[in-house]
Amino acid sequence: MTSAHSITEMVPHAGAMVLLDEIVAWDAKEILCRTSSHLRLDNPLRRDGVLSATASCEYAAQAAAVHGALNEGGVSRGFLAALKDFQLFVDDLAQVHTPILVSATRLMADPAALIYGFRLYGDSSDGAEIAAGRLTVKLLEPEVP
């Protein structure tokens, strides 16, 4: 497992915007993370007490970023370029009263882009599905000092 402090070093965010709490497992193809940040009142994606389930794509993008950093040995610069087959099974993430598991599976990788399939579900005995889809990350050229 990896702590939130380590995750902070692998995503291009800081403070409360780092949404993942820990890495449960990972290998060269996929990663599984756990979080309870959807329950925190200071979650920066909350609006009027609601954490729209559309925020699931940010949780998935952060899991993909962490996976990329673990595989590449450091943070890669990139941005979320596309979201496909995005399905939501709840309206408000704050209404999910268990920790959330975020699974991201690398489907394609080349020097210009990465494609991940993702799934968010409750960390409980029923494992209720929260969201699923595919995301494309466009990689940027490394900065030259």
Cα distance between residue 57 and residue 132, in whole Å: 9
Number of structural domains in the chain:
1
In terms of Cβ atoms closer than 10 Å to its own Cβ (0-12, 13-18, 19+), residue 104 is buried
For 121, the domain range is: 4-139
CATH label of the domain that carries residue 109: 3.10.129.10
| Residue 144 counted as domain residue | no
**103 or 14, higher pLDDT:** 103
Q: How confident is the model at residue 30 (pLDDT cuts 50, 70, 90)?
A: very high
DSSP-assigned letter for residue 95: G
| Residue 52 counted as domain residue | yes
Span 13-39, average pLDDT = 94
Q: How far is CA 125 from CA 36, 93, 102, in A?
A: 16, 18, 16
- Give the chain's mean pLDDT: 90
- Stretch among 17-31, 62-76, 97-111 having the lowest mean pLDDT: 62-76
| Residue 145 counted as domain residue | no
CB 77 within 8 A of CB 139: yes
CB 126 within 8 A of CB 101: no
Span 100-118, average pLDDT = 95
Q: How confident is the model at residue 3 (pLDDT cuts 50, 70, 90)?
A: low
Each residue of 46-87: pLDDT tens digit? Answer: 999 899 999 999 999 999 999 988 987 766 678 899 999 999
CB 104 within 8 A of CB 31: yes
| Residue 11 counted as domain residue | yes
